[in-house]
Amino acid sequence: MNDKLLALRLFVRVARTGSFSAAARELDLSQPSVSRIIAALEEDVGAALVTRTTRAVTLTDVGNDYLIRVEAILSSLEEADHTARGSRELRGSLRVAMPASFGVREIIPLMPGFLAHHPELNVSLLMSDQRQDTIKEGVDVALRLGELADSSATARVIGRTQRLIAASPTYLTSRGTPQTPADLAAHAAIVGPAGTNAGTWSFQKDGQSVSVRINSRLTVSFNEAAVAAAVAGIGVVTTSLWGCRAELASGSLIQLLPDWKMGEIEVHGMFTPGRRPKPSARALVEYLIAELRR
């Protein structure tokens, strides 16, 4: 039975990654071993599940249907094991995707408490400021900042943070401190993944809305670089409070125009569509909701 379960889990990872090698690395097996296990599974099923080429592994029509059924079975089995234990104990593996900066700054500091409550659970954090393909990466729950692109996914709001602008004392000494949103037109802007809308930053105060076209001096692809550039004195950065909380506390960045609001950023816990959420995924989301609201 354990051999069949291993084969099914391997098949899912081969299907989602499109690679025997990638699945082998994830489960700490050799590539030839994975290939042999999948071949034995196909023989047991009595049909070809994958098509092997020099470039990738793709599913056959039978394999696609088999994948949907197998994922549902594995999810139900984990749920059944958890229910049968009759406790809050969680076991197995949990794969969590999240933006890198948010993960490093806010989530990892909260993980010791969660892991201490569930010593038999192994957690993998997939961290990138580019949104991961949750299905291909085998993600159980993704933490997303901002609007969700996939309306079919089940999600929970786990927290909210304010968007703001900030700059270093060095930059402000040399360029002056903006007193109104309109003053930003004369300043250098650092644009990161928190980004802009068509080169503008929008502000609200007392029912009034103002949009300012900014001079994008530097554009970067992840939040840590944007914040580091602001600390280095390159310009004014827009990010979330979570994205620069430490720098504001240390004084290496100063929040600008605090009376003007740039809106909130919602953080969602999004479960991978098409599957029943794992008990561990639900537990992590509930834990983060409680912790991030403190």
The answer to whether the pTM exceeds 0.75 is no
- Whole-number pLDDT of residue 73: 82
First to last CA, the chain: 45
| pLDDT tens, the chain, 294 aa long | 468 888 998 998 888 888 888 888 888 899 999 999 999 999 999 999 999 887 778 889 998 888 878 877 887 787 677 677 665 678 878 889 999 889 999 999 999 999 999 998 889 899 987 777 777 777 889 999 887 766 656 889 999 999 999 999 999 999 999 999 999 999 999 988 755 555 889 999 998 999 999 988 899 888 899 999 999 999 999 999 999 999 999 999 999 999 999 999 899 999 977 777 888 999 999 999 999 887
- Whole-number pLDDT of residue 139: 85
- Whole-number pLDDT of residue 88: 64
- Whole-number pLDDT of residue 196: 52
Q: Is 229 helix (H, G, I), strand (E, B) or coil?
A: helix
In three-state form (DSSP H/G/I as H, E/B as E, the rest C), the secondary structure along 280-292 is: HHHHHHHHHHHHH
Q: Is 23 helix (H, G, I), strand (E, B) or coil?
A: helix
Say how far residue 97 (Cα) sits from the centre of its chain: 4
Q: Which residues of 239-249 are buried (b: 16+ CB within 10 A; e: fewer)?
A: bbbbbbeebee
Within 8 A by CB and 6+ apart from 65, the residues are none
- Whole-number pLDDT of residue 1: 44
What are all long-range contacts of 209-214, with beta carbons under 8 Å and residues at least 24 apart? 210/181, 210/182, 210/260, 212/181, 212/182, 212/184, 212/185, 213/185, 214/184, 214/185, 214/187, 214/189
CA–CA separation, 264 and 253 (whole Å) = 20
- Whole-number pLDDT of residue 216: 87
- Whole-number pLDDT of residue 64: 85
